[in-house]
């Protein structure tokens, strides 16, 4: 019996709508993207749990206790909760203003391998700055919702008294979108927010200088790029490490690194570059981070220039890294990418709303108290009457109705009066309550005025910002250096220049050997049946051009080619250059300025003279096609820096000597050249070499003053010596 498979067709749009879209929205709204208070839901659930545990003004408790309690609001598991807690602690150094005061090992944000201790070994409490996060949260300043099982209430947002969204660095990856918020200095944020409240047209850069990170470093200030970030919420900037040089011990100490990298990534990259012979100045690199803080030590050669080396490291390692900004924030449940002013505007709107709700709450409480004291004021007219009413009432349940009737007060007032202790019926106590009623009246009037005036509310917010800046503000950790003040080093300046010998073999093997290494070598190691076909002198900073039999020229920097010993086979060019199948390199040229010419001799008696500058390109192209003409069979090619004498041989029985100046140079690489030899039918030019490579008793016998020419028969002795 075969199993039947029932296939139910379903419209893809229905599947997306029913399954994918709810998941997407859940990740965006309930997990990855921060809201205007600067927190994600996981942060909020954890901190609010700690607040309800009384950890704002008490001693630390075990992290395990906090994690367990948080699971009442966050059902995602203890490890995820503890990981969230770790990042919010002082010990982790991930935030400029940590929200959790911690004791124990919480790892470090700047280390990939420094693991944090288990929750049972660490202790936490809320830091003092959380007073500003939770301020008046119990006065209906924000909305509350049920937790996942309806057993508890939790806040939708925190009523933060400062723009925490700009102070706390936040990274989040949702579905189809992401968020990346850098942190700014609290003092600068409060100053910018206070100025913005007074005038929204301010130049925000005057107050908010640049981002600031807990790991310090140096921010490379690019005004145009930061202006773009401030205006649009998108863009990137670079932060580089701080270092100091110990001349006595020839070592560089790196003590602050970019926020986006870690110690291990930096050290791994340096080690990799040393192995690749790209950092010859470095002897050793070590991680010497301890309780005193971060430290990467780089031992360098005594002859090395530390500043030059550091610029090299900034260019080649994460010691200089970019932070990509994407200020994507949830505003009323909708993700929006906002600039700094837009963020401040949304935060101010949110904060004004919180303040109004708090004022309404306070007004209700004060009005209730005022109402009670108003009832108390009425009994002052006749306290004895109140006592008589209570004493003459036979049934307890009639005390309240009788007081209401006797003094024309409502039930709430009567209840309050009935509960007054006998000892409080003295004149002093009653007069104090009357004065309190008058003060309440003034407060109610003032609060009512504030409630109706956004301007007054904004003034209060501005005063709070100034107080927060004074109380919690810290100096900048990330220094600002201006792009124009940085000494630029070209890539060439990082490269060591020294003399090398380059070898090309018949079977496409290539060797780059230093002169020092070559002196100590006995003989060149080659594959069986292989032989060296070219050997040239060059320096490490030169460009290398490799001409192939497929009319291509391949270009590379000599310093990019690995050095080898004479005892090794060298590098196989097919692997380095991505040669075509069965393509072979015929000729190599090293040049630093692309001066001189390439000469290409063909069997039909023509020679083309191509300017070397034709092979120079502005972009770093590795391959140029049509490097020389493909119309006729190539006899030989040769590089010359200036014009010189050549011997052209016909059918190995005739030769002629002429100067290359007789050939006009061309800029076109694939030019067919000019006729040099006058050939008979079925004759070919069989060789084309520099004159010093031709052995002759009388070389001038073959000289011609103009081309083309039929040449001269080779004398017997010269035939013997050359063929």
User: Hey, which residues are catalytic here?
Assistant: 121
C-alpha distances in Å from residue 91, one per residue of 98, 123, 586, 587? 9, 11, 63, 62
- Burial (Cβ within 10 Å: 0-12, 13-18, ≥19) of residue 300: buried
What are the phi and psi torsion angles at 152 (to 5°)?
Answer: -140, 165
Q: Which of left, alpha, beta for 180 (phi over 0: left; psi -120 to 50: alpha)?
A: beta
> Coil, helix or strand for 17?
helix
Phi-psi map region of 136: left, alpha, beta (phi>0 left; psi -120 to 50 alpha):
left
CA–CA dist 347, 356 (Å, integer): 14
Backbone angles phi, psi at 597, to 5 degrees: -140, 155
Give the dihedral of Cα atoms 96, 97, 98, 104; nearest 10 deg.
70
617 phi/psi in degrees, rounded to 5: -130, 145
Provide CB contacts within 8 A for 166, sequence distance 6+.
38, 181, 183, 184, 189, 208, 340, 343, 344
- 427 CB neighbour count, 10 Å cutoff: 9
Q: Taking the CA atoms of 54, 55, 57 and 62 in sequence, report the sign of the dihedral they define.
A: positive
Please state, as a whole number, how many other Cβ atoms lie within 10 Å of the Cβ of residue 114: 17
Identify the DSSP state of 715: P
Note whether 420 and 366 are within 8 A (CB).
no
**Residue 349 belongs to what H/E stretch?**
helix 340-379
Asked if 379 and 386 count as a contact pair (C-beta separation under 8 A), the reply is yes
C-alpha 143: how far from chain center: 36
Residue with tokens 């979108």: 177
Residue carrying structure tokens 């009457």: 385
Q: With DSSP H G I counted as helix, E B as strand and the rest as coil, what are the percentages for the chain, rounded to 5? A: 40, 25, 40
**683 Cβ contact partners less than 8 Å away, ≥ 6 residues apart:** 650, 651
Helix (H) or strand (E) run with residue 83 in it: helix 78-87
- The total of other beta-carbon atoms located within 10 Å of residue 687's CB is 19
The CA R_g of the chain, rounded to the nearest whole Å, is 42
Instruction: Note whether 24 and 173 are within 8 A (CB).
Output: no
Structure tokens at 255: 């003590």
Distance CA 549, CA 634 (A): 9
Strands 553-557 and 623-624: antiparallel
Q: Are 650 and 686 in contact (CB under 8 A)?
A: yes
Burial category of 543 from C-beta neighbours within 10 Å (exposed 0-12, middle 13-18, buried 19 and up): middle
Task: Kindly state the tokens that stand for 108.
Answer: 């470090």
Nearest to 182 by CA among 239, 222, 223, 126: 239
Identify any residues that bridge with 220 across adjacent strands, giving them in sequence order.
238, 481
- Assess contact for 300 and 309: CB atoms under 8 A: yes
């Amino acid at each position: 019996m075969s199993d039947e498979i029932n296939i139910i067709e379903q419209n893809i749009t229905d599947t997306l709508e029913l399954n994918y879209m709810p998941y997407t929205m859940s990740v965006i709204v309930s997990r990855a993207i921060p809201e205007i208070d600067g927190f994600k839901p996981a942060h909020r659930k954890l901190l609010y749990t700690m607040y309800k545990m009384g950890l704002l003004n008490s001693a630390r408790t075990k992290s395990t206790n906090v994690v367990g309690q948080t699971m009442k609001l966050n059902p995602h598991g203890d490890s995820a909760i503890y990981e969230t807690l770790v990042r919010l602690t002082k010990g982790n150094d991930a935030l400029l203003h940590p929200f959790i005061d911690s004791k124990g090992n919480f790892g470090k944000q700047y280390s990939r391998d420094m693991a944090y201790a288990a929750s049972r070994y660490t202790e936490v409490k809320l830091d003092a700055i959380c007073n500003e996060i939770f301020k008046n949260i119990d006065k209906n300043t924000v909305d509350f919702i049920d937790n996942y099982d309806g057993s508890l209430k939790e806040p939708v947002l925190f009523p933060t008294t400062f723009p925490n969204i700009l102070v706390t660095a936040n990274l989040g990856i949702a579905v189809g979108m992401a968020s990346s918020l850098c942190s700014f200095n609290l003092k600068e944020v409060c100053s910018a927010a206070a100025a913005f409240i007074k005038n929204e047209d301010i130049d925000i850069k005057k107050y908010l200088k640049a981002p600031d990170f807990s790991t310090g470093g140096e921010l490379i200030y690019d005004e145009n790029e930061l202006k773009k970030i401030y205006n649009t919420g998108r863009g990137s900037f670079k932060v580089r490490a701080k270092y100091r040089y110990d001349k006595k011990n020839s070592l560089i100490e790196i003590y602050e690194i970019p926020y986006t990298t870690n110690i291990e990534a930096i050290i791994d990259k340096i080690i990799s570059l040393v192995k690749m012979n790209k950092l010859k100045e470095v002897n050793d690199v070590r991680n010497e981070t301890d309780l005193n803080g971060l430290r990467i030590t780089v031992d360098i050669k005594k002859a090395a220039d530390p500043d030059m080396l550091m610029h090299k490291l900034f260019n080649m390692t994460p010691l200089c890294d970019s932070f990509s900004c994407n200020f994507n924030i949830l505003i009323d449940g909708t993700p929006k990418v906002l600039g700094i002013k837009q963020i401040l505007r949304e935060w101010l709107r949110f904060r004004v709303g919180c303040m109004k709700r708090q004022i309404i709450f306070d007004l209700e409480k004060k009005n209730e108290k005022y109402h009670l004291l108003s009832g108390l004021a009425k009994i002052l007219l006749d306290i004895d009457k109140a006592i008589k009413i209570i004493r003459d009432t036979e049934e307890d349940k009639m005390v309240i109705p009788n007081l209401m009737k006797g003094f024309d007060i409502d039930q709430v007032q009567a209840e309050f009066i009935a509960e007054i202790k006998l000892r409080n019926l003295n004149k002093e106590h009653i007069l104090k309550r009357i004065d309190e009623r008058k003060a309440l009246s003034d407060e109610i009037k003032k609060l009512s005025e504030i409630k109706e005036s956004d301007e007054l509310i904004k003034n209060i917010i501005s005063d709070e910002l100034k107080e927060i800046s004074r109380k919690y503000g810290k100096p900048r950790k990330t220094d600002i250096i201006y792009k124009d003040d940085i000494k630029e080093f070209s890539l060439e300046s990082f490269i060591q220049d020294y003399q090398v010998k380059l070898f090309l073999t018949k079977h496409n093997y290539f060797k780059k050997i230093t002169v020092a290494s070559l002196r100590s070598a006995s003989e060149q190691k080659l594959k069986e049946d292989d032989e060296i076909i070219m050997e040239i002198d060059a320096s490490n900073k030169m460009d290398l051009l490799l001409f192939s039999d497929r009319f291509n020229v391949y270009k590379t920097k000599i310093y990019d080619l690995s050095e080898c010993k004479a005892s090794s086979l060298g590098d196989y060019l097919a692997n380095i250059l991505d040669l075509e199948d069965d393509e072979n390199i015929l000729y190599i040229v090293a040049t630093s300025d692309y001066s001189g010419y390439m000469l290409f001799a063909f069997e039909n008696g023509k020679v083309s003279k191509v300017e070397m500058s034709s092979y120079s390109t502005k972009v770093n192209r590795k391959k140029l096609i049509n490097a020389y003409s493909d119309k006729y069979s190539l006899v030989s090619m040769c590089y010359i820096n200036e014009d010189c004498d050549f011997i052209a041989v016909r059918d190995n029985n005739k030769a002629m000597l002429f100067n290359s100046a007789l050939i006009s140079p061309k800029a076109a690489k694939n030019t067919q050249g000019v006729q040099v030899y006058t050939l008979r039918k079925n004759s070919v030019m069989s060789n084309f070499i520099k004159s010093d490579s031709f052995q002759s008793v009388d070389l001038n016998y073959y000289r011609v003053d103009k081309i083309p020419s039929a040449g001269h028969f080779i004398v017997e002795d010269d035939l013997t010596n050359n063929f």
